[in-house]
Structure 1
Amino acid sequence: MILLSGFEPFAGNAANPSWGAVLLAAELLRADGHNVEVLELPVVFGAASMMLLDALDRLDPDVVVCAGLAGGRTGLSLERVAINCDDADIPDNAGAQPSDREVVNGGPAGYFATLPLRAALRNLAEAGIPASISQSAGTYVCNHVFYALMHQLADRPRTIGGFVHVPYERSQRPSGLSPTMELSGMAQGIAVVAQTAAKARELTALRGVPSTR
């Protein structure tokens, strides 16, 4: 089973393309025969990670792909590393603005995504979807959720997961200089990442070996 998550709007935006893209990606994956659940997370430190971890316990997915908005990115960003730091330039949707705070007290400095990033990147290129591997998910709620996810999956090796950032959607371009992408392209890209991960998960299960990056 595949679990996809996106975020609610924040910072004055009327919509968050990560959630719209996740909903469309779920339709594509279901049409391809996958069992998919979706989750809209609040842009709130603590509450977002708690909601995601509760879904992990309830659903026990094989693959988890979380998505969030990163304005200014030119395509999909496949995030490699989650760091144990909450440091917000702007308040979250509950008004919190942590500074230099750990996501998990005493947790490791960072975690690598366990999604097959290189394979996903190749498949995205073949599909004509602009994408790259990113070395930083920032220190806002996206990274908060990414780190909490990977911290939990460290004790659940049968589940693989990670985070994908999406750019602004074209209809919500905040300025003429900001890169944008069609929502349908984002959705197709997230579906490709999830399909690539599901295939990798199946192969490692058949071989009886742990999933790897």
Structure 2
Amino acid sequence: MRLLVTAFDPFGGEPVNPALEAVRRLPAEIAGAEVVTLQVPTVFGRSIDVVTAAIDELRPDAVICVGQAGGRPDVTPERVAINVDDARIPDNEGNQPLDRSVADDGPAAYFATLPVKAMVQAIRDEGLPSSLSNTAGTFVCNHLMYGVLHHLAVGGRSEVRAGFVHVPFIPEQADQHPGAPGLPLGDIVRGLTSALVAVVEHREDIALAAGATH
């Protein structure tokens, strides 16, 4: 089994991206599966091109994209990606699309095909904070999640599971954002590792109360 794990470079004026730093520290093998990592530009359009090219070349069994969600206190697998680009800030090449579709020929949304609830439970079992998120935003993270799922759907490759995980700031970033929570990098690595074990071990998701009231 092969897992493709991607992470964005720093963006929004941050000196580091905890997603990238954590993904770089993942072991080369998790639960018997090969782990291949990939750095992705925080750029609309190009991010999808980079990851879908890697999918076509590497033929992974699952694709787990990872990004930074500064302000969140926990590791959050994403349930859904929506067909909207609406950038509050420019990406790393100055692009700032507003109210555009990720794919003109795509549906309104795609649900992750990863066992997202099993991933949440696995992270919690490590003693780390985790919850299931129902919004990946409308920046490059959502853009990439939607683009990967669209690429797989259009290509008729339902056997390849895919989705997205957001991670919080690390403490040195949080210190620069008063009131923002942070999670040590080592904990983020442990959380992601646990989530990847769940991807390997759970073809079908588990039943878990992980909804939200708002």
Same fold (TM over 0.5): yes
Structure 1 counterpart of 2:73:
74
> Is 1:62–1:198's contact at 8 Å kept on the other side of the alignment?
no
Q: What amino acid sits opposite 1:164 in the alignment?
A: V
Q: How does 1:24-173 map to 2 (within 5 A)?
A: 24-25=25-26, 27=27, 30=29, 32-154=31-153, 155-173=156-174
Task: Write out per-residue CA displacement over residues 27-63 of structure 1, whole angstroms, 9 at most, x where no aligned residue.
Answer: 1x52654311111110100000100000000001011
Counting only pairs closer than 5 Å after superposition, residues 191-202 of structure 1 correspond to structure 2 as 191-201=193-203
Alpha-carbon offset, residue 156 of structure 1: 1.1
Aligned length: 202
1:152 & 1:20 partners in 2: Cα distance? 27
Distance in 2 between residues matched to 1:160 and 1:153, nearest whole Å: 9
TM-score normalised over the length of structure 1: 0.90
SS in 2 for 1:5: strand
Secondary structure at the counterpart of residue 11 of structure 1: coil
Equivalence for 2:210: none
Cα displacement (A) at 1:105: 1.0
User: Is this contact kept in 2: 1:43–1:92, CA < 8 A?
Assistant: yes
Measure, in 1, the Cα distance between the counterparts of 2:32 and 2:102.
36
Partners of 1:31 and 1:74 lie apart in 2 by 25
Structure 1 residue 166, shift from structure 2 partner = 0.6
Bigger helix share: 1
Q: What is the alpha-carbon distance in structure 2 between the residues aligned to residue 19 and residue 162 of structure 1?
A: 16
**1:46-92 C-alpha deviation (Å, 9 max, x unpaired):** 00010000000000101111000111000011100000011000111
The SS at the match of 1:153 is helix
Kept in 1: contact 2:76–2:120 (CA 8 A): no
Secondary structure at the counterpart of residue 164 of structure 1: strand
Structure 2 spans left out of the alignment, 5+ residues = 207-214
Normalising to structure 2: TM-score of the pair? 0.90
Cα deviation, residue 117, structure 1: 1.3
Tell me if the contact between 1:63 and 1:194 (Cα under 8 Å) persists in the aligned partners: no
Contact 1:77–1:134 under 8 Å retained in 2: yes
Amino acid in structure 1 at the alignment position of 2:151: Q
Separation in 2, partners of 1:121, 1:68: 16
Percent of residue pairs identical: 42
Q: CA deviation at 1:180?
A: 0.4
Shift of 1:200: 2.2
Structure 2 counterpart of 1:206: none
**Distance apart, 1:212 and its partner CA:** 6.5
Task: Tell me: CA distance 1:9–1:49, structure 2 relative to 1, closer, same or farther (3 Å).
Answer: same
